[in-house]
Amino acid sequence: MKIVMASVLTCAALMTSGAMNAAYAQDGDSAPGVAPGISLPTAPDFASKFTDAMKTPEALEAGEAALGKTAAAYAAATTFEDTITMTVAMGERKESQTFTISRNAVGTRLNLQSLVITVMGEKIYIETEEVPDKFVGFPIEESMLATLSTKLPGFDLPFPRMLVDLKAAGTARVQGAFLQAPTLAAFDAATSALYFTSTEGSDALISFDPKTHFFTTASYGFTPPGAPEGFKVPINVSFTPTTPDTLVNAVAFDPGVRKEVDSLEKLAPTPFEIGTTIPDATFKQFDGTSVTLSSMAGKAVVMDLWATWCGPCRKGLPFIGKFAELVKDDKQILVFGVNTLENAKGDEQMAVAKKFWDEQKFTFNCLVDDGTFFKTFGVGGIPLTIVVGPQGTLVAKHEGIDPKNMEGIIAELKAECDKALGRAVAAPAVPVLAPAGS
């Protein structure tokens, strides 16, 4: 699926392993499924932790009162900061993300990793590291969250909204991306634990500190939209709230030389045009050495950008491998896989990519990109296959894969490389049809 910037920003708050990575995984097939190598999660059983006595009207009334004290504690914190760690489990595989909230009299700043939202005065600013030369600015129409919901349809927070929406009432205080329209179903006063259910099938176990009343942990059984009945993704969230005199992460916004735009569509990165010279880039190889794009000058270079979490990438890589095998004796054509946008970073990214590459027994070379090279092209996601000409210009790019003709990219890449090298390009084969009536 080809994702435009508006969708990326909308999905940024839904940073489950599947939701976050789906924003960057593109193909032409929207049918639901599980990417190869990812096992289905085991649904958490929160309800069994609560006795019948914890589900009585009296217990629920006490739970509502406790929830009110928590809301009051957040509202009373004139200077507030929280570092929130979220871990998503998909079978044996776990992925973690960290967010920060900073709030004081100046405003509020949410850092959702690639997406940063700053509220100051009567205006909201949205920045993303994917587009360093622009930012979105628009006025607050009712409240921060109400405005974001209007400007980013479907937007919600990956944590209870009361952390930033001090006017939220009732159980809506704990509503968020993983728990829509929650209902308090049980309360354990001894452990300060609240159990919530919801109409869409998700549920949650949320605990607070009995002294400060701030949240300490939240565990979700998240049912994604369109998921089969009973399917739940385990998501564990931990909170580290503080009320310092001075914020560690200051609430501030500096536009610098960036251009302000008034819509998410205008925030989209500028596509890299065919024929443009690609800036030099440095990649790591599995043996620890580095290689530059400029060192490949004079040859046609095919690069397939991929990640281990990307289902379409995993489907398409074997066909890049077939192309590499086809041209392995051609000294003027180089073929590489380029691991990018991996959830792991640094040495861990190298290890994750190498493990996958070795398991697949690919015989062509793989390079590792920290994401910088991918961002050059201003596209919505991976897989991205590019052809770089002998003079370092972009000759061709293939965004996503065609699930109905994955084999077709082999002939396309061969023709594009031949053209870049000034060779005669063979005409596509024309099927021979039997005479009518034969």
pLDDT in tens, 150-162: 888 778 899 999 9
Tens of pLDDT, residues 274-304: 999 999 999 999 999 999 999 999 999 999 9
Q: Which DSSP helix (H) or strand (E) runs through 96? A: strand 93-103
CATH number of the domain enclosing 366: 3.40.30.10
99-105's contacts with Cβ under 8 Å and 24+ in sequence apart are: 99/158, 99/159, 100/249, 101/163, 101/164, 102/247, 102/248, 102/249, 102/250, 102/251, 103/77, 103/79, 103/164, 103/251, 104/78, 104/79, 104/80, 104/247, 104/251, 105/78, 105/79
Which residues span the domain enclosing 357? 282-420
Q: Is the model's pTM score more than 0.85?
A: no
Based on the domain organization, do 305 and 344 belong to the same domain?
yes
Give the Å distances, CA to CA, from 32 to 42, 179, 315. Answer: 19, 22, 15
Residues 251 and 291 in one domain: no
Q: Are 293 and 258 part of one and the same domain?
A: no
Residue 219 CA to residue 92 CA, distance in Å, equals 17
First to last CA, the chain: 43
127 Cβ partners below 8 Å, 6+ apart? 115, 116, 118, 135, 136
The answer to whether residues 314 and 383 belong to one domain is yes
Query: In terms of domains, do 326 and 219 share one?
Result: no
Ranges under pLDDT 70 in the chain: 1-41, 90-93, 269-270, 426-438
pLDDT of residue 435: 47
Q: In what order do the strands lie in the sheet with 215-222?
A: 182-188, 193-198, 203-208, 215-222, 233-242, 80-90, 93-103, 107-112, 115-120, 123-128, 134-139, 259-261
**Res 16: pLDDT:** 37
Does the residue 272 lie in any domain? no
251 and 366 inside one domain: no
Report the pLDDT value the prediction gives residue 90, as an integer from 0 to 100. Answer: 66
Q: Are residues 233 and 349 in the same domain?
A: no
Is the domain of 359 the same as that of 327? yes
Please check whether residues 287 and 379 belong to one and the same domain: yes
Residue 274 domain-assigned? no
Q: CA angle, corner 131, sides to 153 and 311, nearest 5?
A: 70
248 & 310 share domain:
no
Residues 85 and 223 in one domain: yes
Q: What CATH number does residue 102 fall under? A: 2.50.20.10
**Which H or E run includes 325?**
helix 311-326
Please report whether residue 18 resides in a domain: yes
How do strand 300-306 and strand 333-339 relate by DSSP bridges? parallel
pLDDT at position 343:
80
Q: What is the pLDDT of residue 103?
A: 95
Residues 134 and 238 in one domain: yes
Count of the separate structural domains present in the chain: 2
